[in-house]
Amino acid sequence: MNRIQINGLVARAWRASRLFTSSLLVVCTSSAVLVGQTPQPEVPTPAPSVPQIPRTPEVERGRSLDRQPILQDRGIPNLPEDTPEVFDLGSGIGFASGPASALTTVGGYIDSAIISNRIRLRFDAAYNNPVPDRNQFFYPEDGSGGLGNETRIDYQEIATYIEWAPRERFSLFVEVPVRFLNPEVNPNEAGLADMNAGFKWALWQCPCDALTFQLRTYLGTGEARGKGLGVGFASIEPALLYHRKLSDRLSFEGELRGWIPTADNPVRSGPFLGEDFSGEMLRYGAGFGYDLFQSCDCRCQRSNACSCGAPACDSKLTSVVELVGWTVLDGFGTFTVGMTSEIRDVSGDTIFNLKIGGRYTRGCGTFFAGWGHVITSDQWYEDIVRIEYERRF
């Protein structure tokens, strides 16, 4: 390893540590703000004439399942049903938890903030990626892999996602994709793409909203050299996910993610010789879902929920609109100009996609179909079609 590569690795480690530290600070700050808004009723001193209720450990921790009669006997007014319980992890920051049975996934492209046991089967078909190796986010850069200067790619992908929640506020997940590539220069390929796995931790969870920290790791399992089914390196992606039920029919979902690659392959030619081909990237999105049809009352409440935690609605049909964006903070890409190719700096490239679709939910099962289209000059693809089925249990 020469001096340039060593300096590049040191610089990449420094950038990655700064981005990850910033993500953790955002998590802590958001949690502190939310907890600061949690209503804390004042507890008056019990009148001498009122008999004292034995103070059981459950009551001391505020975890009694039937706490309203106890509070009434002490002269404390009833608490709202959706008041979350707050506890301290010893760091001076409070975190809230509580049932989220009224929350169900609405979006199709934004990661869900809801903690749940679920299995999902998803199909994607995307068309016209004119710079496949942009920042090496989707496709490996040209060079020793022997892929040549690829000018355009279409692809299809089938992914199986499994999430397991051993605790109400914590879950583990893994996703296994199989990809079918249709390049313009290189031959078609099919096989296992880059798997990813991680965890979700609900910082705030109550019947009407949820704020979740997610850490996803891409494992680099796809065969990059000679096939382009993966990028050939691992990467991590910390994220903040938010879900809010705005009314009986309207829901909001949002996300902020940071993609941090571990690649150490430098640019091999041109004015950027020796610089890291891949760099950090941000992804962000917001979306709304509106229930066009409900077969019963789906109000935000704890009661009348299925065993999987879904509302006890026979069925509902939800229209979905989402806006998803990416901003490349550092990196390069191979651009085709006529019959030649050149490597360009893609730092600052920003891509926005508009996504529309519909979701049909019945009990613990939900089906989504949607379409997305790029609305900027830079693009990962021009159009994408997504179909998925998810089952909560």
Residue 242: which pLDDT band, with cuts at 50, 70 and 90? Answer: very high
Q: What is the pLDDT, as a whole number, of residue 20?
A: 52
Chain position carrying tokens 């996504």: 355
Among 94-98, 113-117, 145-149, 297-301, where is mean pLDDT lowest?
Answer: 94-98
Q: What is the pLDDT, as a whole number, of residue 169?
A: 94
Q: What is the pTM of this model?
A: 0.74
On the question of pLDDT at 88 being above 90, the answer is no
Q: Which residue has the higher pLDDT, 142 or 171?
A: 171
Among 78-82, 92-96, 106-110, 364-368, where is mean pLDDT lowest?
Answer: 92-96
Q: What is the pLDDT, as a whole number, of residue 14?
A: 57
On the question of pLDDT at 307 being above 60, the answer is no
Closest CA to 226 of 179, 285, 186: 186
CB neighbour class for 12 (10 Å; exposed up to 12, middle 13-18, buried from 19): buried
In this prediction, residues 123-128 reach a mean pLDDT of 97
Residue 35 DSSP SS3:
helix
On the question of pLDDT at 87 being above 60, the answer is no
With left for phi above 0 and alpha for psi between -120 and 50, is residue 128 left, alpha or beta? Answer: left
Q: What is the pLDDT, as a whole number, of residue 275?
A: 87
pLDDT digits (tens, 9 = 90+) for 267-287: 877 788 888 889 999 999 999
On the question of pLDDT at 92 being above 60, the answer is no
Closest CA to 186 of 149, 156, 154: 149
Helices (H), the chain: 3-36, 57-60, 68-73
Residue 39: which pLDDT band, with cuts at 50, 70 and 90? Answer: very low
Q: What is the DSSP string of 74-112?
A: TTPPPPPTTPPEEEE-SSS-EEEE---TT-----SSSPP
**What radius of gyration, in Å, describes the C-alpha atoms of the chain?**
24
DSSP 273: T
**Structural domains of the chain in order of their starting residue, each with its CATH number:** 100-392 (2.40.160.40)
How far is 41 from 66, CA to CA, in rounded Å?
Answer: 17
Closest CA to 263 of 235, 238, 283, 237: 235
